[in-house]
Each structure stands twice: as structure tokens, then as C-alpha cells.
Amino acid sequence: METNTETILIVFVALTGVAVLLQAFVLLAIFLSLKKTAKSVSDASDDFKATVLPFVHSTRELMERLSPQIVTVSEGLADLTNILHKETKGVRVSVSEIMERLNRQTQRIDAMLTTGLDTVEHTAGVIETAIAKPVRQANGVLAAIKAIIDTYRAPLPPRRPTYDPENDQFV
């Protein structure tokens, strides 16, 4: 049995050695893979630095050149806004005065027209009264004359026979 145990022990040691050797190969493969990945990441970061950093520097230079102009433009816009605000107030006051004057003139014209039209209406009433009354009277007289003339010119109505009781007949 000893040989059997020794054989098992030798096999076990051999398997352990193979497993350790296999583990060493796996760790070596992982190391080489990580080394390759680190180099790739380093190259990518170098490319990133080479392309992005000049863009950042040029943007910074552009902002340094433009910032005084932007400040000048914004101050100019602020001044323009203040001037427009003041002018708008002036225009508002002028329009208000014009509308007030227009309203007064409109009221004045309305009063004048109302007075004129009332006078015309009153005059028309007076003229109608002064002319219409005699005309109506003359029309009444003419209508009466016409009725009289028509009555005389009309043929006599047929005479209705009357009953004579003495003769016992119609006459």
C-alpha cells in the first residue's frame, strides 16, 4: 500500500505543479494583456491631449480677445436700452397729449354739430308749421269745393216710386 500512496502522492504533486504552472501562464497572459491595454490607454490619452489641448488653448485665447469687445457691446446695448426707455416715455407723453387735444376737439365739433342740427330741426318744424297749416286749410277749402261741384254734376239718382194710397198705386 505504500507504493500506492507514494504513487498517489507523486501524481498529486505532479498535478499541483501542473496547476501552478498553468496558473503562472494565465497570470503571465493577464499581465501581458494589461500591459497592452495600458499602452493603448496611454496612446489614446496622448492623442486626446494632442487634439483637445490646442482647441482649449485657442478657445481661451479667443475668449481673452473677445471679452473686452463683448463687454463694450453689452455696455452699448445697456445704453441703447436706457435711451429707448426714455424716448418711449417721451413718445407716450406726446401721444397722451395729442389724444387729449383730439378728444377736446372732437367734443367741440360734436357740440357744434349737435347745436347746428338742433337748429335745423327747429327751423324745419317752424317752416312746416308756417307753411303746412295754410296749405292744409287751402286743401280743405279745395276739397270742399270739389265735393260741391261733384255733387251738382252727378246724375240724379233714380227716383223711387212712392205709393199713392188714394189711387192705390205706385207713382
What's CA 53's distance to the chain center, in Å?
A: 49
- Residues 6 or more apart in contact with residue 171 via CB below 8 angstroms: 161, 162, 163, 164
Residue 60 reports pLDDT greater than 80: yes
pTM, two decimals, is 0.35
- Whole-number Å distance between alpha carbons of 107 and 101: 10
Region 20-40: mean pLDDT is 96
Residue closest to 49 by CA, chosen among 60, 41, 37, 39: 41
Residue 110 in grid coordinates: 360734436
What pLDDT band is residue 1 in, cutting at 50, 70 and 90? Answer: low
Higher pLDDT, 43 or 158: 43
| Residue 91, helix vs strand vs coil | helix
